Chain A
Amino acid sequence: MIALEVKCEKCGKAIDVCDMCEDPACKHVVCHDCLSVALGERRPQPHEHGG
């Protein structure tokens, strides 16, 4: 089981490690989703209800 010990600085989601640097002591933790959107690797997705 993976311990979700840090939170994404942008969205607050609990993740195991920063997706950019994988440093457990990272001060700017970013999750995969937020990083992918920030780098233009994918588009932000609306909520299922279309919000």
Chain B
Amino acid sequence: MAPRAAARLETLGFGQVHEYRGGKLDWMAAGLPTEGENSLHARAGDAARKDVPICSLTDRLGDVRDRVKAAGWDAALAVDGEGVVLGLLRSKELAKDPDLRIEQAMRPGPSTFRPYVSLHEMAHFMEEHDLESSPVTTSDGKLVGLLYRADAVRLGMPPK
């Protein structure tokens, strides 16, 4: 909560008031609960697939590709020990030389989106830019899941 809002609540007699220094957007980006009319809209974090395959920078691409395909996926994310997203592997990257290490094959530092972003807006941008999938992360870069355009369109756009 903002300092001024916290101070006002204290003047109204509330005793357990805390300032959340990260701000409201950071709160929502961490997937923490919200209320109000806007909280009812579908968001990227709701539709992002949490079970997306992950790998580390030093993994062998061929091994990761086999694991990804066996699990029925066409993408994977490279993360560090804390779950911070370091790279993205879509079909194009997964099709490279199997003896490459992940850090040699991945798209480094991919564009990521916060979980609270409106699915409607994400669907619009993903269609406009012909993006099949986009990683969703918290403000500090930790993986939430992979959002597929098909899911964003299905859940974020009203039927025509």
Contacts of B125 in A (CB 8 A): 20, 30, 35, 38-39
Chain A interface extent, by class: 10 to 19
Beta-carbon nearest neighbor of A20 in chain B: B129
B47-55, B64-72, B78-86, B107-115: which lies at the A interface? B107-115
Chain A contact residues: over half helix, strand or loop, or mixed? loop
B contacts with A, residue count (CB < 8 A): 16
* Assembled-state Cα–Cα distance A39/B116 (Å): 9
Of B107, B113, B129, the contact of A26 (CB 8 Å cutoff): B129
Q: Which of A18, A26, A41 has the most CB of B within 10 A?
A: A41
Is B9 among interface residues, defined by CB-CB distance under 8 A? no
6 further A-B pairs in the complex, CB-CB below 8 A; given A20-B129, A22-B110, A40-B116? A23-B129, A39-B118, A40-B118, A41-B113, A41-B117, A42-B25
Interfacial residues, chain B to chain A (CB-CB below 8 A): 25, 107, 110-111, 113-114, 116-118, 121-122, 125, 128-131
